[in-house]
């Protein structure tokens, strides 16, 4: 596919079906990143827990790394430097002060391989329907610093993780960003019902591109994830989507179109809630 955009900023959302074999997952991520680079992608995002999907959330604690050192972080840094890309490293478990729980963290690496951003997931997923039940708070410590926006030569990149998608106030607090990146592992049940609707809503209301890499298929632990990794434009149009199994969704960020949408419908400038709150606090 040839882009008609002047100086396109090509991006890609990697989709995986990660297992409990960390080495294999890292290898597969490397192959998919190489394929996306060959398509011209300069910003590439991996899915939540791209590196490891154990039999239970607590199993990830065995692979938790200290921030700044570890096999997973070294691998991400090396890939970013090798390909000269901005790499949003999905999520990986980072150690917390609690021995039995970890942070679910998204790290961003620049083309030199330097870590230029960290976001720890603040909203922890909980869902129960019949035999299907999840409670991330049993194994994960919620992050305390948000929102997280990365300044890059290709625009402002806002970070969220999976369940964060359901809380629009997080993204509104970022002010104006060019791309929202949301590494995810949505369950099949909740993804089928809400994934596309929520992603398109976040793109429309924040007038930005949304890059959503996801887990997508049947996992070794018996879990089934929804997949449908996608790239959405500021008008809410889906530019590319990978339904299930490994692959990547990709496309071009058109800065001129982004500004055109904001000029024609200046909704971001029309916001009143924060102004009214400030008046009330005086």
65-75 residue pLDDT tens: 999 999 999 99
- Of 212, 201, 112, 109, nearest to 160 by C-alpha is 212
107-165 residue pLDDT tens: 999 999 999 999 999 999 999 999 888 899 999 999 999 899 999 999 999 999 999 99
CB contact at 8 A, 179 and 210: yes
Per-residue model confidence (pLDDT) at position 2: 42
Residue 204: inside a domain: yes
Residue 2: inside a domain: no
As a whole number of angstroms, the distance between CA 156 and CA 177 comes to 5
Per-residue model confidence (pLDDT) at position 134: 86
Residues serving a catalytic function are 48, 121, 162
As a whole number of angstroms, the distance between CA 41 and CA 32 comes to 11
Looking at the 3D structure of the chain, how many domains does it have?
Answer: 1
Residue 1: inside a domain: no
- The structure tokens listed for 144 are 């305390």
Plot region of 7 (φ>0 → left; ψ -120 to 50 → alpha; else → beta): left
Per-residue model confidence (pLDDT) at position 55: 80
Q: Round to the nearest angstrom and report the end-to-end CA distance of the chain.
A: 54
Give the domain range for residue 267.
Answer: 9-280
Residue 4: inside a domain: no
Report the sign of the C-alpha dihedral through residues 198, 214, 45, 104, in that order. positive
Residue 31: inside a domain: yes
Least confident interval from 28-42, 48-62, 81-95, 228-242: 48-62
CATH number at residue 252: 3.60.110.10
Q: What is the mean pLDDT of the chain?
A: 94
- Using DSSP bridges, classify how beta strands 86-88 and 102-109 pair: parallel, antiparallel or unpaired: antiparallel
Section 84-108 average pLDDT: 97
Residue 174: inside a domain: yes
Residue 155: inside a domain: yes
Residue 3: inside a domain: no
């Amino acid at each position: 596919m040839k882009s008609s955009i002047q100086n396109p900023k090509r991006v890609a959302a990697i989709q995986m079906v990660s297992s409990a074999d960390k080495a294999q997952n890292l290898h597969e991520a490397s192959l998919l990143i190489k394929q996306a680079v060959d398509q011209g992608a300069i910003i590439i995002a991996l899915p939540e827990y791209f590196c490891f999907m154990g039999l239970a959330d607590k199993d990830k604690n065995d692979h938790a790394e200290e921030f700044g050192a570890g096999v997973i972080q070294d691998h991400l840094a090396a890939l970013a430097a090798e390909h000269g890309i901005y790499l949003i490293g999905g999520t990986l478990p980072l150690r917390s002060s609690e021995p039995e729980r970890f942070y679910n963290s998204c790290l961003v690496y620049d083309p030199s391989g330097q870590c230029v951003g960290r976001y720890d997931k603040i909203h922890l997923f909980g869902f129960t329907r019949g035999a299907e039940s999840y409670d991330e708070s049993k194994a994960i410590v919620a992050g305390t610093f948000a929102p997280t926006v990365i300044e890059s030569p290709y625009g402002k990149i806002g970070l969220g993780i999976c369940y964060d998608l359901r809380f629009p106030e997080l993204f509104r607090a970022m002010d104006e960003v060019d791309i929202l990146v949301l590494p995810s592992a949505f369950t099949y049940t909740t993804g089928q019902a809400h994934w596309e609707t929520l992603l398109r809503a976040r793109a429309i209301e924040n007038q930005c591109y949304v890059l959503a890499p996801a887990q997508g298929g049947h996992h070794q632990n018996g879990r089934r994830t929804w997949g449908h990794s996608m790239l959405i434009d500021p008008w809410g149009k889906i530019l590319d989507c990978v339904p299930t199994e490994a692959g990547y969704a990709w496309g071009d960020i058109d800065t001129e179109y982004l500004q055109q949408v904001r000029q024609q419908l200046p909704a971001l400038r029309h916001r009143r809630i924060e102004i009214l709150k400030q008046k009330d606090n005086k």
